[in-house]
Amino acid sequence: MAFKERVFSGVQPTGNLHLGNYLGAIVKFVALQESYDCIYCVVDLHAITVWQDPAELPRNIREVTAAFIASGIDPRKHIIFNQSQVAEHAELAWIFNCVARIGWLNRMTQFKEKAGKDRENASVGLFAYPCLMAADILAYRATHVPVGDDQKQHLELARDIAQKFNNDFGASIGARGHGEAFFPLTEPLIQGPATRVMSLRDGTKKMSKSDASDQSRINLTDDDDAIAQKIRRAKTDPHPLPHDEAGLAERPEADNLVGIYAALAGKPKAEVLRELGGAQFVSFKAALIELLIARLGPIRGELKRLLQDPAAIDAVLADGSARAQEIAAETMRAVKDIVGFVRR
Ligand code: ATP
Ligand code: MG
């Protein structure tokens, strides 16, 4: 069966939005608006899988919303909303908790990394996170999901959940006129030179909101001086840039900075190296700083302007939530019938 093409993705309001979120996700969100109906979600239910201070969470929700708009997402043509305003996410997640198997979730590397050594003390929500993520996507029966490389495993799980639901309830799905499959097997969109932006301090760790060192990431709110300083101090090796991509093997820090440059310049890494191969890091970093400031400066300005009017941001979220809920509620009614619940 052909599903209506639709894009869904989300960003957690966990503070410190960074260059990895921007290049790995938000830039893709912006580009996809041209060819798809898009739904972009501030996933606050995901955020509370680890402790969030209630005094800071509203600001973080508004900051992600403002970052979406400042980066160029149009909340009138598409949908921007926060997850907790559409109860169907949590409702469908429960059904998926009953479809997914504990063995599947036990394999998730994000849980292992975030729970760390004290796994017994992690929240149940952190463990069940991928079921909620599947519900986010499938409440809209979305066909395409742009994400960074770190979310690949969760998207595969979302496909497994959709497949198992379609199989387990196959007869009921058919009997209700939905054909062979009710949920699509979502396509991950993970492409380009910056699907995994690494920490500026350690080229083997992903750039992350939660890294204790602010020097490890470029925040979307960093001013020009902070951007320049962080790139100048970014870890590198003593060799000049190689002339081709093979020369980046075993050089994670160089690979990372070239990837960032390529993403900002809109060129493949190979082309960047053809142009800049042989350059020393001092001059390459200067060029990178220039590109970063040119791109992030205007976004930061717009982000700050938008944040001065929280009521306007809340209005965007309210409007987006109402439009999202119409779609999700229709899915949920069909799911209840398929599962066999009695409803009004
Ligand atoms: P947290 O540490 O709270 O999980 P995060 O930085 O991983 O924060 P998320 O809100 O979990 O951010 O992810 C939002 C989007 O950004 C996802 O699509 C994710 O794949 C992408 N993303 C996160 N970090 C990176 C990165 N370092 N490089 C590329 N994409 C990234
Ligand atoms: Mg994350």
Catalytic residue from among 28, 206, 269, 285? 206
**164 noted as active-site residue:** no
Ligand 1 atom at minimal distance to the Cα of residue 14: 3
Nearest CA to ligand 1 atom 8: 209
pLDDT for the residue numbered 2: 82
pLDDT for the residue numbered 68: 98
d(CA 276, CA 200): 20
d(CA 172, CA 21): 40
Going from the Cα of 211 to the center of ligand 2, the distance in angstroms, rounded, reads 11
Going from the Cα of 236 to the center of ligand 1, the distance in angstroms, rounded, reads 23
Tell me the torsion sign for CA atoms 317, 323, 328, 333.
positive
Model confidence pLDDT, tens digit, residues 309-334? 999 999 999 999 999 999 999 999 99
d(CA 67, CA 220): 8
**206 noted as active-site residue:** yes
pLDDT for the residue numbered 1: 61
Going from the Cα of 131 to the center of ligand 1, the distance in angstroms, rounded, reads 18
Residue with tokens 């999901």: 145
**pLDDT one digit per residue (tens) for the chain, 344 residues:** 689 999 999 999 999 899 999 999 999 999 999 999 999 999 999 999 999 999 999 999 999 999 999 999 999 999 999 999 999 999 999 999 999 999 999 999 999 999 999 999 999 999 999 999 999 999 999 999 999 999 999 999 999 999 999 999 999 999 999 999 999 999 999 999 999 999 999 999 999 998 899 999 999 999 999 999 999 999 999 999 999 999 999 999 999 999 999 999 999 999 999 999 999 999 999 999 999 999 999 999 999 999 999 999 999 999 999 999 999 999 999 999 999 999 99
pLDDT for the residue numbered 185: 97
**117 noted as active-site residue:** no
Nearest CA to ligand 1 atom 20: 148
pTM: 0.96
